[in-house]
Amino acid sequence: MYRKNYPNLFSPITIGNVTLKNRISASPTSNPALNMNTYMTKDVASFYEMRAIGGAAVVTIGESIVHTRTGCNSNYRLLLDDPNVIPSLSDFSRTIKQHDCIPSIELAHAGKFANVPNSLRPAGSGQIPYGPVHEITPDGYEIFEMNEDLIAEVAEAYGKAAGVVKFCGFEMLLVHAGHGWLLGQFMSPLYNRRSDRFGGSLENRMRFPLMVLDSIRARVGPGFPVEFRFSGEEFVAGGITIDEGVEIARMVEDKVDLLHVSAGLHEQPGANVITHTSTFVPQGRNVYLAETVKKAVKKPVACIGGLIDPAMMEEIIASGRADVVAMARSLIADPFLPRKAQEGRAEEIVKCIRCYVCMDTLRGTRNMRCALNPLIGREFEHKFLPSPGPAKKVLVAGGGPAGMEAALTAAKRGHEVILCEASDQLGGQTVSEQHIPFKKDLYDFGQQRARQLEEAGVEVRLNTPATRGLAERLKPGVIIAALGAESIIPDIPGIDGENVLFLKDLRTGHSGFGDSVVILGGGLVGCELAIHLNRQGKKVTVIEMTDDWARDAPKLHKDAMDVELRKGVTIRLNTRGLAITDRGLVCEGGDKQPELVEADTVFCAVGMRSRSSEHLRDLAPIFKIVGDGRVPRQMFEATSGGYWAAVDL
Ligand SMILES: Cc1cc2nc3c(=O)[nH]c(=O)nc-3n(C[C@H](O)[C@H](O)[C@H](O)COP(=O)(O)O)c2cc1C
């Protein structure tokens, strides 16, 4: 017998008539880059397949619509009432099963959020939107009340869809009754204000979801594992509370095989950042909801929300707080998390930083990306990566995220790599994040990469600026310039005062800040720092010259920041910094009158400028610029730019 890592996490469990090889379930993630023909493509399948190869016991396709006419809120959903979906779905289930993994799929209906225009369906669908009650939305759309015939028709559609996915080879399915979609709308006292037998008491509000479960069971038969996802608490005034969450679990328990206790509501920003917990709250913040439910039921319970660390997952299973740990973003940052944990390589796991880039890109262009994982959205291509060209001597100039990613990838692909870093530490701007608790995961990522460079055999030279002379001496075949960016210094009086700090000053800590701080520049960097300093009890004012703050933040991160900023930070928009004195920042707002905002310290965060790498351009046959040295942008561009630059060698 060998010594098992995380023995509880990697113990099997029987759900219905299947046995999960471990306790890790890849929870539904909407299908990235699904074509508008809405059939499963090899691209999308490869995204999920990576999770199966990575060792999850179950992989669940995201929202798939059971009743297209009334239930679809996006042009990019699998439509389970379209018979043409069958070939690609059956091919998909085969793909997942190939990797000793259970294919599952989420049956969904968007209810009152279907058929009205939104970012994923700008023109709407031309069909009538239906919800639990008749209403006019704040945007002016009329939602019609579902009558009993339609309720019965949709319940039947759930059953038919279940039959289709079973026919396609799925071995499990998940009913989405949380986050404020149709079934959740009926269950929630916030949305369901009906006075008939489908509204009012919890028993009445549960009538429709129970009809759905009966309809599904009638089609899939006994034993077929049905997972029921619901919000244990909605975290909105008037919504479901955990006491009702427990009752809901009790009411469905006999009809389902796994109770999946999620949280929050999608269309309510403050609650949505609890569904998808932000970096401002501890990992595993919502586990207590599953734990509370578990005490009241006999069926297995899954928990979810910011589960990143396998040690925490092990503790959850070992202590019996939940039976299954479900996760979405951790398996985007690193689909191989389960395997690495099981194989004793936990320190290699790339840990999700909960930055919301995945959700933001999915909502925006539909091309999902990850700040840390350059393969997200490229899983299919990854199978056919070109073999490395002849081994080359590669000089990487700069040891920030882009340079480290390039160096690591090049070394793994057999090239001889020398990385020169001008400072005494690898990590670039991530080094400054170590002093901000809610950014520490990013710092850890940088340090993890630094360790991996050593293991991969990269020759790292610290305190070594990449000069022309150095490059001439080394005679590399390739130079990858990753020199990063530096703070823009605004040309205003007092900018060189002793009370003025810049990003570079944060590398060694935050001791330079006084009790009151003015942050000049309300972008992502400035606003995150404001949250941190406010948490430390300082009086913080953010001065932003445009009419919005943190424009460069992913939408959900901005929502989460909003919650935090409201705890005491003052933001002044449309306000320009004119001068810095020893008493603070002189500003000019809409009334054009100069005004002093008093502060002990002025932090300058007005933007970044790329460092030039032109001095290295002609010193090797292949020359590339990556990361902020190309254009100052976000983490995704750094990791992805570094990775693909090295793959192409
Ligand atoms: C990119 C992305 C897409 C998602 N799509 C779905 C979906 O289609 N259906 C669903 O029920 N939840 C969806 N979720 C929510 C996740 O299943 C999960 O509940 C949430 O992300 C919290 O878990 P995590 O902290 O492990 O990411 C999505 C989450 C992400 C990050």
What is the 3 state secondary structure string of 255-273? HCCEEEEECCECCCHHHHH
**553 and 437, same structural domain?**
no
In a domain, residue 543? The reply is yes
Least Cα distance to 306 among 556, 542, 103 occurs for: 556
**393 and 372, same structural domain?**
no
Q: List the beta strands (DSSP E) in 1-118.
A: 13-15, 18-20, 24-29, 58-65, 78-79, 102-108
**621 and 578, same structural domain?**
no
Determine the structural domain holding residue 569 and report its residue range. Answer: 500-606
DSSP letter (8 states) at residue 247: H
- Ligand 1 pocket test, pick from 235, 329, 368, 441 with the greatest ligand atom count within 8 Å of Cβ, gives 329
> Ligand 1, atom 18: nearest CA belongs to which residue?
328
d(CA 184, CA 127) in angstroms, rounded, equals 21
d(CA 85, CA 81) in angstroms, rounded, equals 8
CATH of the domain at 514: 3.50.50.60
Helix segments in 319-467, DSSP class H: 329-333, 337-342, 357-364, 379-382, 401-412, 440-455
Residues 569 and 540 sit within 8 Å (Cβ to Cβ):
yes
Question: Residue 55: its pLDDT value, please?
Answer: 98
Centre of ligand 1 from the C-alpha of residue 63, in Å = 10
In a domain, residue 429? The reply is yes
DSSP letter (8 states) at residue 24: E
Closest atom, ligand 1, to C-alpha of 368 = 1
Question: Residue 509: its pLDDT value, please?
Answer: 85
Centre of ligand 1 from the C-alpha of residue 426, in Å = 33
Centre of ligand 1 from the C-alpha of residue 322, in Å = 19
Helix segments in 413-523, DSSP class H: 440-455, 468-474
**269 and 246, same structural domain?**
yes
d(CA 428, CA 420) in angstroms, rounded, equals 12
The last residue of a domain, from among 353, 381, 409: 381
Q: Which two tokens stand for residue 544?
A: 């932003």
d(CA 203, CA 244) in angstroms, rounded, equals 11
**630 and 578, same structural domain?**
no
What is the 3 state secondary structure string of 277-338? CCCCCCCCCCHHHHHHHHHHCCCCEEEECCCCCHHHHHHHHHCCCCCEEEECHHHHHCCCHH
Residue 79 carries which side chain, given as an amino acid letter?
Answer: L
Give the number of domains in the chain.
3
Sign of the torsion angle spanned by Cα atoms 80, 86, 88, 90: positive
Least Cα distance to 171 among 19, 55, 335 occurs for: 19
Question: Residue 422: its pLDDT value, please?
Answer: 97
Residues 253 and 295 sit within 8 Å (Cβ to Cβ):
no
CATH of the domain at 429: 3.40.50.720
3-state secondary structure of 118: strand
In a domain, residue 5? The reply is no
The alpha carbon of 40 is separated from its chain's Cα centroid by a whole number of angstroms, namely: 22
> Ligand 1, atom 14: nearest CA belongs to which residue?
29
Centre of ligand 1 from the C-alpha of residue 460, in Å = 38
**167 and 238, same structural domain?**
yes
In a domain, residue 634? The reply is yes
**614 and 601, same structural domain?**
no
> Ligand 1, atom 1: nearest CA belongs to which residue?
359
Q: Strand 130-131 relative to strand 584-588: parallel, antiparallel, unpaired?
A: unpaired
The last residue of a domain, from among 381, 400, 415: 381
3-state secondary structure of 408: helix
Closest atom, ligand 1, to C-alpha of 181 = 11
What does the longest C-alpha to C-alpha distance in the chain come to? 83
Q: Locate tokens 């034993």: which residue?
A: 223
Which helix (H) or strand (E) is 500 found in, with range? strand 500-501
In a domain, residue 282? The reply is yes
Centre of ligand 1 from the C-alpha of residue 28, in Å = 6
Centre of ligand 1 from the C-alpha of residue 104, in Å = 14
DSSP letter (8 states) at residue 612: P
Least Cα distance to 59 among 103, 90, 107 occurs for: 103
Closest atom, ligand 1, to C-alpha of 27 = 17
d(CA 105, CA 584) in angstroms, rounded, equals 57
Centre of ligand 1 from the C-alpha of residue 358, in Å = 10
Centre of ligand 1 from the C-alpha of residue 141, in Å = 27
Q: Which two tokens stand for residue 571?
A: 């933001």
Residues 475 and 418 sit within 8 Å (Cβ to Cβ):
no
Centre of ligand 1 from the C-alpha of residue 253, in Å = 23
- Ligand 1 pocket test, pick from 27, 109, 183, 441 with the greatest ligand atom count within 8 Å of Cβ, gives 27
d(CA 381, CA 471) in angstroms, rounded, equals 33
Q: Which two tokens stand for residue 578?
A: 């004119």
d(CA 629, CA 294) in angstroms, rounded, equals 51
Q: Strand 18-20 relative to strand 516-520: parallel, antiparallel, unpaired?
A: unpaired
Q: Locate tokens 């001439």: which residue?
A: 472
Q: What is the mean pLDDT of each run of 10 residues along the chain (649 residues)?
A: 91 98 96 78 94 98 96 93 96 98 98 91 90 96 98 98 98 98 98 98 98 98 98 97 98 98 94 96 97 98 98 98 98 98 97 96 89 95 90 98 98 98 96 94 97 97 97 97 96 96 90 95 97 97 97 95 97 96 93 92 97 97 97 95 96
The last residue of a domain, from among 354, 381, 408: 381
**309 and 208, same structural domain?**
yes
**434 and 561, same structural domain?**
no
- Ligand 1 shell residues, CB under 6 Å: 27-30, 62-63, 106, 176, 262, 275-277, 304-307, 327-330, 358-359, 362, 368
**335 and 443, same structural domain?**
no
Which helix (H) or strand (E) is 41 found in, with range? none
Q: Locate tokens 């759930």: which residue?
A: 158
d(CA 115, CA 501) in angstroms, rounded, equals 50
Closest atom, ligand 1, to C-alpha of 262 = 19
> Ligand 1, atom 20: nearest CA belongs to which residue?
276
In a domain, residue 203? The reply is yes
> Ligand 1, atom 10: nearest CA belongs to which residue?
28
> Ligand 1, atom 5: nearest CA belongs to which residue?
29
d(CA 45, CA 62) in angstroms, rounded, equals 12
CATH of the domain at 203: 3.20.20.70
Residue 344 carries which side chain, given as an amino acid letter?
Answer: G
**231 and 372, same structural domain?**
yes
Question: Residue 351: its pLDDT value, please?
Answer: 97
The strands making up 576-581's β-sheet, listed across from edge to edge, are: 576-581, 584-588, 594-598
Centre of ligand 1 from the C-alpha of residue 79, in Å = 19
In a domain, residue 6? The reply is no
> Ligand 1, atom 26: nearest CA belongs to which residue?
327
- Ligand 1 pocket test, pick from 276, 287, 309 with the greatest ligand atom count within 8 Å of Cβ, gives 276
Closest atom, ligand 1, to C-alpha of 327 = 26
DSSP letter (8 states) at residue 99: T
In a domain, residue 492? The reply is no
Centre of ligand 1 from the C-alpha of residue 305, in Å = 9
Closest atom, ligand 1, to C-alpha of 30 = 8
**279 and 357, same structural domain?**
yes
Centre of ligand 1 from the C-alpha of residue 368, in Å = 13
Question: Residue 354: its pLDDT value, please?
Answer: 97
> Ligand 1, atom 23: nearest CA belongs to which residue?
305
DSSP letter (8 states) at residue 546: S
d(CA 388, CA 437) in angstroms, rounded, equals 39
